[in-house]
Amino acid sequence: MPAAYVKPYLKRGKTDAADAEAICEAVRRPTMRFFEIKSEDQQAVLAIHRARDLVVRQRTQVVNMIRSILREFQHILPTGIEAVSKFAREHGTEAQLEMPEIADEILGVMCHQLNGLNAQVDGLTKLIEQHAWYDPDARRLMRMPGIGPITASAVVATIDDAKQFETGLNLAAWLGLTPLNKSSGGRERLGRITKKGDRYIRKLLIIGMTSRAFMAKNKPEKADIWTAKLFDEKPFRLATVAMANKSARIIWAPLTKQEEYRQPIA
């Protein structure tokens, strides 16, 4: 059981006996929700994802450090990580920039570290892609637009048996992609998404839908009717979150019915 669902049954004070009593009380509730325990193979795949996510965050820190050092001496790099990665690979092979020698040496250390982090990210990404292509459920999810090997592998390794969710809406709510409901007095009030559940999968889905949104804006003739109408009525970021919400609901169907994804008519 999720610990947050047991907390309301805990009486005053925190002891082992009080915790055990709260667990026994919660487990007997007819509406209590339970989750599946992950297997060792799932934990191993998720360990790769956690390691890659850590290295990506470290790479972002190093990239920001390189940009800040260059900016101190009036050297501005183009937007995007590729520009910084190219600068790091070429540092030391070209003429020294107009800056003190000690600053250039520190910059060389940061560039060397960035090259190593890029190699680690590429290696972990290839390992995740390899596991995704071997898994039949992950291959089904990769047929969906905006779902790549990393997202498909993370979803399959985290959810495992999607039948624990009664509907696709329950899966989207579990990922924190549904609006926060604060209804009272018969008046329905829906706010921002709850952001509950697995933050990593939610981030991957929104990133994938953002890429899909840019493609739909650049090539509107290839976008389906629902997506095209969504961009006409909603702001860009709200539209991408709505697309991620819909994708989470669609993900539930291939995982539970073991069927291939069918592309809607454009």
**Residues 253-265: tens digit of each pLDDT:** 999 988 888 876 6
- The pair phi, psi for residue 202, each rounded to 5°, is -60, -40
Q: What pLDDT is recorded for position 264?
A: 67
Helices (H), 73-176: 81-90, 101-134, 136-141, 149-159, 168-174
pLDDT classification of 2: cutoffs 50, 70, 90: confident
Residues 6+ positions from 137 with CB-CB distance below 8 Å: 152, 156, 254, 255
Query: Degrees (nearest 5) of the Cα angle 226, 230, 233?
Result: 140
Domain boundaries, the chain: 1-34, 40-134, 136-257
Is residue 22 within 8 A of residue 10, CB to CB? The reply is yes
Distance from C-alpha of 235 to C-alpha of 8, rounded to nearest angstrom: 38
pLDDT in tens, 145-184: 899 999 999 999 998 788 888 899 999 999 999 988 888 8
- What CA–CA distances, in Å, run from 129 to 4, 90, 148, 156, 240? 34, 29, 9, 13, 24
What is d(CA 192, CA 8) in angstroms, rounded to the nearest whole number?
25
Tokens read off for 139? 């291959």
pLDDT given at position 266:
54
Res 111: pLDDT:
94
Q: Which residues pair with 184 in a beta bridge?
A: 187
Model confidence pLDDT, tens digit, residues 197-234: 889 999 999 999 999 888 888 888 777 888 888 888 88
Q: What is the pLDDT of residue 96?
A: 73
Instruction: Name which of 33-37, 91-95, 250-254 the model is least confident about.
Output: 91-95
Tokens of 26: 């919660």
SS3 99: coil
Can you tell me the mean pLDDT for 90-115?
Answer: 88
Give the containing element (helix H, strand E) for 179. strand 179-181
Are 84 and 66 in contact by the 8 Å Cβ rule? The answer is yes
